[in-house]
Amino acid sequence: MSVFDVVAGDSPVLLSMPHVGCGIPKTIEQGFTPDAKRLPDTDWHVDKLYDFASDLDINIIKPNYSRYVIDLNRSVNGARLYPGKDNTELCPLSCFDLSPIYEHGCEPSAAEIERRIQLYWQPYHDKVEQVIAALYRRFGVVVVFDAHSIRSRVARFFPGVLPDLNIGTHHGRSCHQQLRELVTQCLAGQTNYSTVLDERFTGGYITRHYGQPEQHVHAVQLEISQRIYMQEDYPYHYEENKAGEVKDLLRLLLKQILLWAEHHEC
């Protein structure tokens, strides 16, 4: 199985979905607990929510391996995304509910983590950099849209129920202010969904690393509460009726981002 799949488009927008992968090599899976093998913290069905993206000529990259193998949205240097708060590791050791991913004694060694970096993390990010460079040469501007989802209740990270739509721009540092306002207005204008900007989720490694608005590369993360489009408990069923409304909104959002990129003055 390839490390990732890429769909080339004819626009300056790159859609990244770093946590949709479900693959686990057998040599790694054999050390997992039964609960971890169900991959509860996967961004389930996010690729279905955005399956219209290729019709809009948006470039797409998504991994085939699980975030439990290695988290593509974390830095290899171990930097904490949210200092002072609970953070998950590059190669996570626990699920979001704090249950262990590995059976006792099966946790990855430093050498194993380095092996995974070279096999999974580095190729993905090399490709992201390659695509961004090619889009910049062609269009003079790039927007990286980092798509995520998460359970609506994860006490480890936030109290109570997560808002439906969580926009992350690293507090405005990962994209142009106009783009930040456009995304917020588009999503917050939908009264059916609660929307927040740069609250608990302000953007992961991808948003923070690749978002360089002074270099005309803009990055936005959208974390969607899974309760608005799927069954949050195992077996994580996709709910077509609920998801349809979410997809309509996402299609509108990405169309507006495309228009912004087309008319943005570098």
Asked whether residue 49 carries a pLDDT value surpassing 90, the answer given is yes
Spell out where 46-175 has E strands: 59-63, 142-150, 165-168
3-state secondary structure of 135: helix
Which residues lie closer than 8 Å to 93 by C-beta, 6 or more apart?
Answer: 100, 101, 102, 107
- The pLDDT tens digits of the residues spanning 188-216 come to 987 789 999 999 899 999 999 999 999 99
Whole-model pTM: value is 0.96
- The pLDDT tens digits of the residues spanning 72-119 come to 999 998 777 776 677 789 999 999 999 999 999 999 999 999 999 999
Segment 239-252 mean pLDDT: 96
Q: Which of 43-57, 126-140, 166-180, 252-266 has the lowest mean pLDDT?
A: 252-266
- The pLDDT tens digits of the residues spanning 246-258 come to 999 999 999 999 9
Asked whether residue 240 carries a pLDDT value surpassing 80, the answer given is yes
- What pLDDT shows up at residue 79? 75
> Which fold is adopted by the domain 4-263?
Aminopeptidase (3.40.630)
Query: CA-CA distance, 74 to 137, in Å (whole number)?
Result: 27
Segment 117-142 mean pLDDT: 98
Query: What is the CB-side half-sphere exposure of residue 126 using CA atoms within 13 A?
Result: 9
Asked whether residue 11 carries a pLDDT value surpassing 70, the answer given is yes
Q: What is the mean pLDDT of the chain?
A: 95
- What pLDDT shows up at residue 200? 84
Q: Is the dihedral of CA 29, 33, 39, 41 positive or negative?
A: negative
| Structure tokens given for 32 | 């997992």
